[in-house]
Structure 1
């Protein structure tokens, strides 16, 4: 039911992410769907606008009319994903009164986000999750991060982190490190999924996302109860 309602909501993104809204034209939507597929398959380093233009039978200059760089394109996907997670958190926790239950549900949403349709708007949801796990740190580990932060290009992630920190505050009012624990946990959830796939000796998590959510639920709760 919640997914059906969420599916009807249009994700509005920061206009500083693009030159022209890709959702405003057929070519723009093709750029999104094809680039998402290509980045998922080959990685951001190997992906270029030249390869994308060839795959779409269009010109490279036409792609630059929508995005000034592949970094901005990655930021677009990054922001779309965290906007979706924020919506899911709101829908899945708003009617919960017990803060520990709310925390568990929030961690479950972050560990295993769902989309009933699997293709929300133009984006393939499974591909989107894959590139967030493998590529999202490249969205902010750059020399331009301070400028991009001033333009609000990380607000979607910050909203999710703040929402999680507020739940921690409900469990332990006055907890001094909520923002640190929230952001570290969210990034850790992504890293553990990546490690499990590529460097398994760095993780106790294998592939069961219920197990992953349990691990981070206890990590957070143990910190709050100390």
Structure 2
């Protein structure tokens, strides 16, 4: 897996950006600093003008990569899910037992994130916080249907499909594999948000990922049908 990840490039829909930020040092600095700034100040307060000041470049140079900050957020969340997808595929590909495969997949999705040395310009730990706190803003918009049709969320949807197929393998008679898959994927982020901000609304205490809860939920649901 280590050797394979050295040559991995997370493929993001070309419609999300004007110029691929991975194609230049400036583009990588835009990604690197935008992650840190959005995490620090929040998406609402973040602007390209502030980002330009931080990276020592004109605001106009950022627009040569992204049309607006909404598309930058779509890029960042898509990159995160693409990165998780690679880990999920490599970690479960050799597992033949369907129960163990689903359990491992849920653990991959929900486990605490560590920085990945293969992508030096991206702090995955900070990026996960952005996904937990800000990712819903990438699709809770009036343009969501158009952007969905244009493939903006294809990586996230592919993750749901992968998980749904694993659920179906555990119990082919279960009627709602896609609903359960999307509930797990979105629920992991929501539980992480709750344990960080609304402690009384979750049993997933601080310093504990919600993976065990969703493993318990998935298998009790699937084995009861």
State the TM-score, normalizing by the size of structure 2: 0.94
| Structure 1 match to 2:51 | 52
Q: Please identify, of 55-64 and 111-120, the stretch whose mean Cα deviation from structure 2 is larger.
A: 111-120
| Structure 2 match to 1:223 | 221
Count of equivalent residues? 224
Q: Is the 8 A contact 1:85 1:110 kept in 2?
A: yes
What CA distance in whole angstroms lies between the structure 1 residues aligned with 2:194 and 2:37?
22
| Structure 1 match to 2:65 | 66
What CA distance in whole angstroms lies between the structure 2 residues aligned with 1:114 and 1:88?
11
Alignment root-mean-square deviation, CA:
1.5
What CA distance in whole angstroms lies between the structure 1 residues aligned with 2:96 and 2:218?
18
State the 1:202 CA deviation.
Answer: 1.1
What CA distance in whole angstroms lies between the structure 2 residues aligned with 1:197 and 1:125?
18
What CA distance in whole angstroms lies between the structure 1 residues aligned with 2:206 and 2:118?
22
Once the two structures are superposed, residues 66-91 of structure 1 have per-residue CA deviations (whole angstroms, 9 ceiling, x without a partner) of 10111100000111111111111110
| Structure 1 match to 2:101 | 102
| Structure 2 match to 1:41 | 40
Q: Is the 8 A contact 2:115 2:124 kept in 1?
A: no
State the 1:25 CA deviation.
Answer: 1.4
Q: Is the 8 A contact 1:99 1:167 kept in 2?
A: yes
State the TM-score, normalizing by the size of structure 1: 0.94
Gaps of 5+ in 1: none
Distance 1:79 1:180, change over 3 A: same
What CA distance in whole angstroms lies between the structure 2 residues aligned with 1:162 and 1:148?
19
Spell out structure 1 runs of 4+ moving beyond 4 A: 113-116
| Structure 1 match to 2:127 | 128
Once the two structures are superposed, residues 45-85 of structure 1 have per-residue CA deviations (whole angstroms, 9 ceiling, x without a partner) of 11011111111121111111110111100000111111111
